[in-house]
Structure 1
Amino acid sequence: MNTQLSIQPPFEVAEDPKITSPLGFTAAGVHCGIKRKRKDLGIIICSVPAAAAAVYTTNAFQAPPLKVTQESIGVEGKLRAFVVNSGNANACTGQRGLQDAYQTREETASLLGIPAHQVGVVSTGVIGEYLPMEKMLSGLKQVTKVASADGDSSFAEAILTTDTCTKKAEAQCEIDGKTVKIAGVAKGSGMIEPNMATMLGFVTTDAVIDPNQLQSLLWQTTDETFNMITVDGDCSTNDMVVVMASGLAGNQPLNPQHPEWPKFRAAFGYVCRELAKQIARDGEGATRLIEVKVEGAPTLEVARKIAKAVVGSSLVKTAVFGADANWGRILCAAGYGEPMLFPDTVDVYLGPIAVVKGGVPVVYEEEAASEVLRQEKVEIRLHLNQGEHAATAWGCDLTYEYVKINASYRT
């Protein structure tokens, strides 16, 4: 009798992800004039009050839109619409910035005929400049009119800043005999550093789930996904991930006691993880995605700290860019990531190639190791042999182009 567990995930992945796939959602993106030419104002609208949850940047200079959104969700845990502009962060803008964020919320609510607290707002772009409110308000009239089920691509484009591509993911699973869909879009390219970074994530689902359960799930999933990516070590003022659940799938309310909760959690985790990986791969100037897996750790916290230290090391990132199999930089980062680490048990692999065993080098073919580092996805694995816990972090290489982009970001 074969007792081997199936390796198939308990969900299906969409080939053409759309933020509007879950029942009840429409979206749009338009150009309102914040940027010279590209789309810069987007909206997601739900036909019913959706259970809502969000996580926010830990930066002390939290931008005014985030404060307004926290206030909105705090009223009843429900949202009907979410507005995002790109090209201007409305950060470090004081009382005027806060008033502009409130005005954006109020105008959107008026145009849609819904309570103001059912609207969330967020901005991304250059810090320290005031929003051009005449352009914003004109754009809001336009974007609320054209929102549709086919507006997913225009919304995904409207939220971008230095990104080179849109970022999308979608999964579905069967819950109580009903098809439940989860979809997401994100932006992020630079200033990507846990916890939360210059990234925005928007997730929609038609699952029936209480706002408190949704918030708890988002916190847990963020720790495993969005908080495990880094590009340049900078933590932004504006980052946020928001989830809206319409409840239109008609399943029984989801919670950890629901027999099919693991399915939903797995599908939700997939969407967030894929968005996080796409953000890491699209780091400013990046040519490679770096995935660092830490296994055999004494605690989950230790595994996460070491994985993030290695993937965030500028020396590791530049070594990957140069395809230099300099494993000493990996051990160095692991050591400052967790100073209590026992070096004598650590193994390091570049892809399938062992380069360190028990904390000391082993004989390997240099060119083969360099070839691993030339791949679009570079896998680095550390086995600590000190426990049963594991964690994975994602980042990208550090290139000349990154310096060029950020040396002239405003010009």
Structure 2
Amino acid sequence: MLVKSKSEFQLLKDGHVTSPKGFTAGGMHCGLRKSKLDFGWLHSEVPACAAGVYTMNSFQAAPLKVTQESLAVDQKLQTIVVNSGIANACTGAQGIEDAQETQKLSAAKMNVKQNHVAVASTGLIGVTLPMEKIEAGIEAMNEPENQAPERFEQAILTTDTITKTIAVQLEIDGKTITIGGAAKGSGMIHPNMATMLAYMTTDAEAEPGSLQNALRAVTDKTFNMITVDGDCSTNDTVLVMANGLQNNEPLNENHPQWDKFVHALTYVSEELAKQIAKDGEGATKLIEVKVKGASSEQAGRKVGKAVISSNLVKSAVYGSDPNWGRIICAVGYSEEPVNPDKVNVFLGEIPVVKNGLPVDFDEQEGKTYLDQPSVKLTVDLNDGHAEATAWGCDLTYDYVKINASYRT
């Protein structure tokens, strides 16, 4: 059911990662966690053109290395297998062997090429996978009771409180194209890339190189612009699969509707990113930082990330304290040259700084605004015409509680 128009595409009510034609997904409990679903899979009827971006953490987990090597063979994927509870990171040669064995067994179960299987893990670092439990999960991949996108969305979660999902539709070459997505992420959220797992699917036909370029550009504007706690994980992965089952003309930079496709892909990514930021561990509020008047988009991103990453800003928002000095401070240490005499700051629509100087405003009005579950902070640098937006959440007592007892 189409419920909301974005001019070039429409948001699907109850859309999910298998809304595009030819995709199925499922999940089960294989024993990695106490009771929650902890093993999931996403599958395309046919090999799909695929692209990926990964964490910049030097300690890349074994599944990332295996997936990157496989994707490099022919830039195609057909099945993605994910476990939660154990990250299979900092596990040495054994971790690589386990990731490869997971890939091999999954390929045999789903009757696909081994290099067309991506593997991913999330959870505790430094623990090897109990392969007998992983094998049990793989054996259950085709059982009807385990097949449902909602089960996949649940199986990939760790400390998340909600699933993250979305789908949109658009017309390309007279064909109805669908883009779906699912993601997980709640803590250890700070790009490059955003600490999380995100999977996007589409039934459009796309050329591999163009899809990879689009994903990198989209990630820079969306997943790389969120933060929860400033920690960059070992397992971050974003993958997109385009199986071409709608038989449109192959999408690339020269296709007349390429920008339309990228716009829709960007929207899906942004919405997933915002859902992750909103569900930050212990969070009560989503924070959006809009930077205007930057000398370049890169400059705007640096300033926006500095503000959204500030623990003092995040704490002030949690306490509904309209302390604009913390915002100015973060702008100043962003390592991006700014002219303090030009900077304006707004809490929502409330001006609190003009040309670097305080503006008289009603403190109670500012507090009331910050009491909302979603707040917007605007920084106008008055130094150009570029803009950027970053997303994050407030810093609460519960964040410390959750992470102080993560292993227990």
Same fold? TM cut 0.5: yes
Q: 2:297 aligns with which of 292, 297, 300?
A: 300
Instruction: Write the letter of the residue equivalent to 2:262.
Output: R
Alignment match, 1:128: 126
Please state how far the C-alpha of 1:198 moved relative to its aligned partner.
Answer: 3.0
Distance of aligned partners of 1:324 and 1:85 in 2 relative to their CA distance in 1, 3 Å threshold:
same
Residue 405, structure 1, aligned to residue 395, structure 2: no
Instruction: Write the letter of the residue equivalent to 2:141.
Output: V
Instruction: Write the letter of the residue equivalent to 2:241.
Output: M
Q: 2:39 aligns with which of 34, 38, 41?
A: 41
Could you tell me how far apart the structure 2 residues matched to 1:135 and 1:144 are? 16
Q: TM-score of the superposition, structure 2-length normalised?
A: 0.97
Residue 237, structure 1, aligned to residue 234, structure 2: yes
Please state how far the C-alpha of 1:266 moved relative to its aligned partner.
Answer: 1.1
Q: 1:183 aligns with which of 180, 184, 188?
A: 180
Instruction: Write the letter of the residue equivalent to 1:27.
Output: A
Instruction: Write the letter of the residue equivalent to 2:224.
Output: N
Residue 394, structure 1, aligned to residue 391, structure 2: yes
| Mapping for residues 271-350 of structure 1, pairs under 5 Å | 271-350=268-347
Alignment match, 2:81: 83
SS of 1:216's partner is: helix
Aligned length: 404
Alignment match, 1:4: none
Could you tell me how far apart the structure 2 residues matched to 1:62 and 1:299 are? 31
Please state how far the C-alpha of 1:17 moved relative to its aligned partner.
Answer: 1.4
Alignment match, 2:215: 218
> Aligned residues: percent identity?
56
Could you tell me how far apart the structure 1 residues matched to 2:74 and 2:336 are? 44
Please state how far the C-alpha of 1:147 moved relative to its aligned partner.
Answer: 8.3
SS of 1:337's partner is: coil
Please state how far the C-alpha of 1:263 moved relative to its aligned partner.
Answer: 1.5
Please state how far the C-alpha of 1:151 moved relative to its aligned partner.
Answer: 1.2
SS of 1:182's partner is: strand
Could you tell me how far apart the structure 2 residues matched to 1:39 and 1:366 are? 46
Could you tell me how far apart the structure 1 residues matched to 2:227 and 2:6 are? 29
Q: 2:205 aligns with which of 198, 205, 208?
A: 208
Instruction: Write the letter of the residue equivalent to 1:375.
Output: Q
Q: Does the Cα contact within 8 Å between 2:23 and 2:45 map onto a contact in 1?
A: yes
Please state how far the C-alpha of 1:144 moved relative to its aligned partner.
Answer: 3.5
Could you tell me how far apart the structure 2 residues matched to 1:310 and 1:146 are? 47
Q: Does the Cα contact within 8 Å between 2:53 and 2:216 map onto a contact in 1?
A: yes
Q: Does the Cα contact within 8 Å between 1:28 and 1:151 map onto a contact in 2?
A: yes
SS of 2:184's partner is: strand
SS of 1:143's partner is: coil
Distance of aligned partners of 1:8 and 1:55 in 2 relative to their CA distance in 1, 3 Å threshold:
closer
Q: Does the Cα contact within 8 Å between 1:45 and 1:147 map onto a contact in 2?
A: no
SS of 2:100's partner is: helix
Q: Does the Cα contact within 8 Å between 1:11 and 1:172 map onto a contact in 2?
A: yes
Distance of aligned partners of 1:147 and 1:118 in 2 relative to their CA distance in 1, 3 Å threshold:
farther
SS of 1:333's partner is: helix
Instruction: Write the letter of the residue equivalent to 1:405.
Output: I
CA displacement, residues 193-251 of structure 1 (integer Å, 9 cap, x when unaligned):
01124300000000000111110100000000000000000000000000011100111
Alignment match, 1:363: 360
CA displacement, residues 57-80 of structure 1 (integer Å, 9 cap, x when unaligned):
000000000000001101100111
Instruction: Write the letter of the residue equivalent to 2:82.
Output: V
Q: TM-score of the superposition, structure 1-length normalised?
A: 0.97
Please state how far the C-alpha of 1:9 moved relative to its aligned partner.
Answer: 2.7
Alignment match, 2:22: 24
Residue 193, structure 1, aligned to residue 190, structure 2: yes
Please state how far the C-alpha of 1:34 moved relative to its aligned partner.
Answer: 0.3
SS of 1:144's partner is: coil
Q: Does the Cα contact within 8 Å between 1:26 and 1:147 map onto a contact in 2?
A: no
Q: Does the Cα contact within 8 Å between 1:208 and 1:247 map onto a contact in 2?
A: yes
Question: Which moves more between the two structures, 249-258 or 381-390?
Answer: 249-258
Could you tell me how far apart the structure 2 residues matched to 1:356 and 1:183 are? 41
Please state how far the C-alpha of 1:338 moved relative to its aligned partner.
Answer: 3.2
Distance of aligned partners of 1:198 and 1:298 in 2 relative to their CA distance in 1, 3 Å threshold:
closer
Q: 1:262 aligns with which of 248, 259, 262?
A: 259
CA RMSD of aligned residues (A): 1.1
SS of 2:141's partner is: helix
Unaligned runs of 5+ in 2: none
Instruction: Write the letter of the residue equivalent to 1:172.
Output: Q
Question: Which moves more between the two structures, 107-116 or 32-41?
Answer: 107-116
Please state how far the C-alpha of 1:145 moved relative to its aligned partner.
Answer: 3.5
Q: Does the Cα contact within 8 Å between 2:194 and 2:225 map onto a contact in 1?
A: no
Unaligned runs of 5+ in 1: 1-6
Alignment match, 1:383: 380
Q: Does the Cα contact within 8 Å between 2:288 and 2:389 map onto a contact in 1?
A: yes
